[in-house]
Amino acid sequence: MLQNRARKRFGQNFLCDSMVVEKIIAAIAPKKTDRVVEIGPGLGALTTRMLPIVGKMMAIEIDRDLIPKLRRQCQHLGELTIYQTDVLKFDFSSLDNNDHHKLRIIGNLPYNISTPLIFHLLNYANLIKDMHLMFQKEVGERLGAKVGSKKYGRLTVMAQYFCKIELLFIAPPEAFKPKPKIQSAFVRLIPYKVPPYQSRNFDLFQKIVKTAFIKRRKTLKNALKNFPELPENWPEKTGIDPHLRPEQISIEQYVILSNLS
């Protein structure tokens, strides 16, 4: 018997609202030449609408019990290649690219992996044209947060370093089965060809940002206290107020800090 029920261990909430699906399709504006990769197609609400437009798609689905039904639904709609694996371990650079088109990533993401998955996808930003992803509303707001807001954090800085981010619309709980207790946000992320602010030492940039936000209630000076890669006089060298808190420091300023070494 095929599995149609969402599994808690996979964080599944299946998209079931056709109007929301149409809003997603309109936002993506897919074309025949697009190389589309869908993360977590689930019961195929978005797949079955997208595949006839693009003719050829790839999908990554961890739940093997959903795959037979998905194949049946899509067999006359176009060519669907399904990778049955954990997307957090998937190597996007392994995907064949004979036509040299960048990937368009789409998906209704499981809430329990949304943040680690964003960090995983950012590792492949140079291979990606854009990402259109459904997150829990809080994650969507963190992605698009402005410097100085309470939602501005490590995820914000790292995502906005790589991508232009737009929160496109909010989807109600009723758009999913089972119905989650929270709203969802549909977000567009477009990787920059060249980041507006470029760190010459990206590993250090990541380390500074991570360290700062682990201690986000402290001043930046205290958060980065005894940070071996930074000179003690970094406030004088950068002009950054050491008494500001990590959420008050812009992406450009974090890049400036990392470029001291």
pLDDT 10s digits, 41-59? 989 999 999 999 999 999 9
Mean pLDDT, residues 4-25 taken together? 75
- At the topology level, CATH places domain 8-191 in Rossmann fold (3.40.50)
Q: How confident is the model at residue 8 (pLDDT cuts 50, 70, 90)?
A: very low
3-state secondary structure at position 228: coil
pLDDT 10s digits, 120-169? 999 999 999 999 999 999 999 999 999 999 999 999 999 999 999 999 99
pLDDT 10s digits, 199-239? 999 999 999 999 999 988 999 999 999 898 999 999 999 99
How far are the Cα atoms of 8, 144, 209 from residue 137, in angstroms, in the given order? Answer: 19, 11, 23
Q: How confident is the model at residue 3 (pLDDT cuts 50, 70, 90)?
A: very low
CATH (residue range 202-258)? 1.10.8.100
Residue 5 has pLDDT above 70, yes or no: no
pLDDT 10s digits, 63-117? 999 999 999 999 999 999 999 999 999 999 999 777 779 999 999 988 889 999 9
Rounded to whole angstroms, the Cα distance separating 196 from 130 reads: 17
Domain ranges of the chain: 8-191, 202-258
Task: Answer yes or no: same fold for 8-191 and 202-258.
Answer: no
For the chain, helix (H) and strand (E) counts, in that order, are 10, 9
Q: Which two tokens stand for residue 221?
A: 């000076």
> Which residues lie below 8 Å from residue 115, measured CB to CB, with a gap of 6+?
139, 155
Residue 248 has pLDDT above 60, yes or no: yes
pLDDT at 4: 52
